[in-house]
Amino acid sequence: MAFKVGLSRDLLKSDGEPSFGHGPMAILSDSPDIAYEFLPDNVSEITPDIMASYDGLYVNSPKVTAASVARADCRVRIVARHGVGYDNVDVKALAAKGVITTNTPVAVRRPVAVAALTFIFALAGRLVIKDQLTRQNRWNERTSHMGLGLTTRTIGVLGVGGIGQEFLRMAKPFGWRMLASDPYVDAATIAALGGEKVSEESLLAQSDFVAVFMILNEQTRHFLNAERLALMPKQAYLINMARGPVIDELALIKVLQNQQIAGAALDVFEQEPVAADNPLLTMDNVLLAPHSLCWTDECFDHIAREGLGCLAAFAKGERPLSVVKP
């Protein structure tokens, strides 16, 4: 009997084609013992009926919760995430039912690091306002919107896992002073990448740009609260490439409204999609992206190859590359 895989429907484009192209699908189609299909409906949460219909799932946005695996007829034995974050999957609840969770930490390292650098360059160069000056024939105002040279600035990195390390590696040739903080990464590793290990408080107080790559868990939820945000200097910018709830968004909004920091660039939010009345949407000193700044054809191709590869390995009785620890 074939190993049956279901793929969440939000991985399809509006024209019905896979968002990551057809290349990675060969990982499944070329395996004679694997059958696959996209789920018939877009769902926000994987239901017990879905869990009873497949041996493995490949999911993007849908939540996989304790309720998903509550029934005795749960057939799924592996849930593979299309991406590195897995906050939409209750890993512990799945593990208790014998279901493993995988993610794609290797594929996203460079794309997310590049996206963070993109935000930094856009903020430093005053890209948005300069675009407006050009479109609105306000050339005479150029000297009032001078950009920031980066060679004399300090970049802080919160979270030095795979993505944070790739960011340091890519940023090193620019010659910036780079501070980094992560309780699980030693000073020697950070130094080899061109950074200096410091405490979170010291990093926030000294950095002109703070790039956040922390994993979201109960320990890091609202890690950047009002107290820690208050440590940042007035000229500082905050860049969040991690998960929205790592930052207390209401506290950040207040800090921005009071001009306690210079601005922010956010690819993630506490509520996604962002509510229409969110004050962040009307702020001129904030750059926003819909949790997709790193999305490119290459990025999605690599993510899908890593994620679908985990499913194919499991189907053959092998241990997948990236199993998330419960």
- Whether 141 and 238 share a structural domain: yes
- Can 141 be counted among the known catalytic residues? no
In a domain, 102, yes or no: yes
CATH at 118: 3.40.50.720
pLDDT for the residue numbered 1: 82
Whether 253 is covered by a domain: the verdict is yes
pLDDT (tens place) for every residue of the chain, 326 residues total: 899 999 999 999 999 999 999 999 999 999 999 999 999 999 999 999 999 999 999 999 999 999 999 999 999 999 999 999 999 999 999 999 999 999 999 999 999 999 999 999 999 999 999 999 999 999 999 999 999 999 999 999 999 999 999 999 999 999 999 999 999 999 999 999 999 999 999 999 999 999 999 999 999 999 999 999 999 999 999 999 999 999 999 999 999 999 999 999 999 999 999 999 999 999 999 999 999 999 999 999 999 999 999 999 999 999 999 999 99
Q: Is residue 321 domain-resident?
A: no
Let me know whether 115 and 86 are in one domain. Answer: no
Exposure of 22 in the CB half-sphere (CA atoms within 13 A): 4
Is 310 domain-assigned?
Answer: yes
Which residues, in sequence order, are CB contacts of 168 under 8 Å at separation 6+?
157, 160, 178, 180, 190, 193, 194, 195
Give the structural domain span for 93: 3-106+296-315
Catalytic residue among 17, 45, 201, 272: 272
Q: Are residues 176 and 86 in the same domain?
A: no
- Position 74 in a domain: yes
Indicate if 132 and 261 belong to the same structural domain. yes
- 105 close to 162: Cβ distance less than 8 angstroms: yes
Same domain, 124 and 94: no
φ, ψ (nearest 5 deg) of residue 111: -60, -40
Q: Do 86 and 176 belong to one domain?
A: no
- Is 201 labeled as catalytic in the residue annotation? no
Q: Are the CB atoms for 63 and 88 separated by under 8 Å?
A: yes
Sign of CA dihedral 253, 128, 300, 306: negative
65 and 122 belong to one structural domain: no
Q: From CA 210, how far away is CA 236, in angstroms rounded?
A: 8
Give a yes or no: residue 325 inside a domain. Answer: no
- Record the tokens describing residue 100, joined without a space: 């493993």
**233 and 144, same structural domain?**
yes
H-helix segments, 73-161: 91-96, 105-124, 127-135
Which residue, 317, 307, 302, is CA-closest to 33?
317
Query: Which residue in 243, 270, 302, 306 is the catalytic one?
Result: 243
Residues 86, 150, single domain; the answer is no
This prediction has a pTM of 0.91
In the residue annotation, 291 being an active-site residue is answered as yes
32 & 95 share domain: yes
The pLDDT score that the predictor gives to residue 96 is 97
Establish if 322 belongs to a structural domain.
no
Please report whether residue 49 resides in a domain: yes
Count up the domains in the chain and report the number: 2
Are 133 and 60 in a shared domain? no
**151 with 279, same domain?**
yes
CB count, 10 Å around CB of 148?
Answer: 16
Of 82, 228, 291, 305, which is the active-site residue? 291
| Strands ordered across the beta sheet of 154-158 | 196-197, 177-181, 154-158, 209-212, 237-240, 263-266, 286-288
Q: What is the pLDDT of residue 9?
A: 97
